[in-house]
Structure 1
Amino acid sequence: MRTNILLASLVVLGFACQPTKQKEETASTPEKIAVPVLTKAWETDTVLLTSESVIYDEFRDVLYVSNINAVPPTAKDDDGFISIISTDGEILELNWVNEISAPKGMGIIDSSLFVTNIDEVVEIDIPSGVIVGRYPINGAKFLNDISISSGNEVFISDTGTNTIHVLNNGDVRSWLNDSSLVGPNGLLHQGSHLMVASYGGNEFSRIDINTKMRETITDSIPGGDGIVSYGDHYFVSNWNGEVHFVDTAGNRTLVLDTKTKGQNAADICYIPEKKLLLVPTFFGKSIVAYEVK
């Protein structure tokens, strides 16, 4: 009898312990996000003059580079220009479009290339290489980056006035003016949010398009410049010569540092299908491409 009671007790105890064991087996830890590795693929000849931004034209499979040329980047000297280069670094046309003082951020809508130019946005007809529109922005001091929404609205950062403007069908309006942005530079429009890199405030943040409420993702990127998406994550450049990988949880990893080489890291571009991250070196006078693995 005692044996039977003991066996029954063990069976009951076994069943009682089973759910705990199953729970332990099925419990999972958060998946660790792999940090990408950058390997230099190519570099253009050092003939670009203060290369500030680079953008990929998927339809034509070429890159456009904005060249400020002589500094300061606020001088209305008409010596800036746009270059065309191939996706393997060949300079196809150094002085493609001229008559721009200090071109910086760029965005493409259909056959138009929009470029910031101190206190105006310039529209270039890509097939002809002719400037077809100039859109002055009253009160602007240092128009910087551009990001295009899915509805073809042109979002524009003004680093000098802590303002983000919107250009839509030739009309310009101030979308957000907020001193806490501390020099908004890089922009990336993503559906219901606008990602912003602060040049003076060290913050990489997300702004809700509807409420305009801002959430800090990370606060450790001084001199924030360009932003590109990498899957659900981001690369954010630091003008001083760094590129950071920022994951969805806000974890930040330095993946490129060219400060000791005297190369800056301005308004970057990422081409997913080619797995290439393109970095304008500003005073380094070139574009450097890195393979992303």
Structure 2
Amino acid sequence: MKVLCRAFVVFGLVGFFALSAFAESVASGKVWGGFFSPESVFVGRDYIFVANIGKEPNSLAKDNDGFISKLDKSGKVVKKDFASNLNAPKGMIEIDSTLYVVDIDRLVAFDTQGKKVLESHIQGAIFLNDIVLLDSNTLLLSDTGNGIIYAFDLKSKQTSEFARLELAKSGGGNGMLLDKAKQRLFVGCYHPHGKSGGQILAIDTKTKAIKILDAQKGAYDGVALAKNGNLLVSDWGENLNGKIYRISAKNGFSRDSLFGKNAKANVFTKTALNLPAMKGPADMFGTKDTLYIPKMLENEVLVVDLP
């Protein structure tokens, strides 16, 4: 396994950041129950998948009681344990009818029948959390435990280091959202030991430059895109008072506005969505019209209109 260490530049903290005191109204949604510590939702072409860590919400327990549930688009369970014999499955992605999921220190894939077709242990991985497709041959895997974002080659099955975050400063990467066309990777971070909290980051996928979008630290998890192009980020909050925030930018989120010569002039604002407090809002998923929020410690998935 070849690991490539690449240097990257950290841009200034933030051009300017403001926390809004107002809550944004969101249409009340539906609640799907019956899960076991749901950590992640992925909406595929035909089905919705929910990653269940297990009866106990231990994200690092190798207890073999994790599984993935398969639902139809209305939320009806097609097969509760579509993919089983996992430990603590988290982020997922579907590529050409194959479902990939990260499971603590390994990448596992399943076919349309739930049969395992790939198992690759990631050397040095501690706390794999989310997964996105960088290009037709490369997956990016975030590791909250060591701050590394790995690149996994689908052809060679080899892993390299794509970027490395400073744990003490930013926390480890948790949820990710990739805009391939504009070469930006957005990352919600969380400190694995709960010490100093995490930040919300943007990474230039070409230069590996990093921009901090939220100077106020939190226990950030999932990242999704709002209808108007703003970011939506879930935060476990203090005392399990979890919220979903909208991050807006005065000059937008283009590569130039984040990393160009006028990047310091950009102004970021964080506004809480007007939703009930959640216990463990984790790796959410947004479609054109809908936001799916797994409430990990409530064993539910909240489904609301995409704001």
* TM more than 0.5: yes
**Contact 2:165–2:172 (CA under 8 A) maintained in structure 1:** no
Matching of residues 187-198 of structure 1 within 5 Å: 187-191=176-180, 192-198=183-189
Structure with higher helix content: 1
The reply on whether 1:38 has 2:56 as its aligned counterpart is no
Q: CA RMSD in A?
A: 1.8
Unpaired segments ≥5 residues, structure 1: 1-34
Matches within 5 A, 1:65-214: 65-69=50-54, 70-125=56-111, 127-169=112-154, 170-179=157-166, 180-191=169-180, 192-200=183-191, 201-214=197-210
Q: Cα offset for 1:72?
A: 2.1
Please state how far the C-alpha of 1:120 moved relative to its aligned partner. Answer: 0.4
2:273 is aligned, of 255, 262, 283, to 255
Deviation of 1:174 after TM superposition, in Å, equals: 1.6
Partner in structure 1 of residue 218 of structure 2: 222
Secondary structure in structure 2 of the residue aligned to 1:283: helix
Correspondence list, 1:230-269, <5 A: 230=226, 231-240=228-237, 241-249=242-250, 250-259=268-277, 263-269=279-285
CA distance in 1, matches of 2:274, 2:220: 14
**Rounded Cα–Cα distance in structure 2 between residues aligned with 1:181 and 1:168:** 26
Please list the CA deviations of residues 246-277 of structure 1 after superposition, one character each: whole Å capped at 9, or x if unmatched.
11332111004543xx53210001111xx111
Whole-Å Cα distance in 2 between the matches of residues 154 and 162 of structure 1? 16
Provide the C-alpha distance between the structure 1 equivalents of 2:215 and 2:115, rounded to a whole number of angstroms. Answer: 41
Q: Report if the CA contact (8 A) 2:184-2:203 is conserved.
A: yes
1:289 aligns with 2:303: yes
Structure 1: how far apart are the matches of 2:179 and 2:302?
A: 26
1:133 shift after superposition: 0.3
Question: Does the 8 A contact of 1:202 with 1:224 survive in 2?
Answer: yes
Q: TM-score, normalised by structure 1?
A: 0.81
CA distance in 2, matches of 1:278, 1:71: 19
Between 1:219-228 and 1:102-111, the stretch displaced more is 219-228
In the TM superposition, residue 152 of structure 1 has moved relative to its aligned partner by 4.3
Give the counterpart letter for 1:236 in structure 2: V
Deviation readout 1:157-206 (Å, 9 max, x if unpaired): 10000110011212211212232431211111212121111113431111
Query: Which structure has the higher relative contact order (CA within 8 Å, separation 6+)?
Result: 2
Structure 1 window deviating more from structure 2 (247-256 vs 157-166): it is 247-256
Code of the aligned partner of 1:210: K
Per-residue displacement from partner, 1:16-55 (whole Å, max 9, x unpaired)? xxxxxxxxxxxxxxxxxxx96422221113x100000001
Structure 1 residues 152 and 232: CA distance shift in structure 2, 3 A: farther
Q: How far apart, in 2, do the equivalents of 1:258 and 1:168 lie?
A: 41
Change (3 A) 1:149 1:78: same
Identity of matched residues, %: 27
Read off the aligned partner of 2:187 and give its amino acid letter: V
Query: Residues 166 and 174 of structure 1 are in contact (CA less than 8 Å); yes or no, is this contact kept in structure 2?
Result: yes
| Structure 2, unaligned runs of 5 or more | 1-22, 192-196, 251-267
Distance 1:138 1:205, change over 3 A: same
SS of aligned partner of 2:27: strand
The structure-2 alpha-carbon separation of the partners of 1:172 and 1:284, relative to structure 1 and needing over 3 Å to count, comes to: same
SS at match of 2:282: coil
Q: Distance in 2 between matches of 1:80 and 1:144?
A: 14
Q: Write the letter of the residue equivalent to 1:39.
A: A
Provide closer, same or farther for how the CA distance between residues 153 and 37 of structure 1 changes in structure 2, counting only shifts above 3 A.
farther
Pairwise CA distance, 1:147:
1.3
* 1:85-110 Cα distance to aligned partner (Å, 9 max, x none): 23332222111110100000111211
Give the match's secondary structure for 1:129: coil
How many residue pairs were aligned?
251
Q: Are the counterparts in 2 of residues 221 and 238 from structure 1 also a CA contact under 8 Å?
A: no
**1:16-55 maps to which residues of 2 (within 5 A)?**
37-45=25-33, 47-55=34-42
- Code of the residue aligned with 1:40 in structure 2: it is S
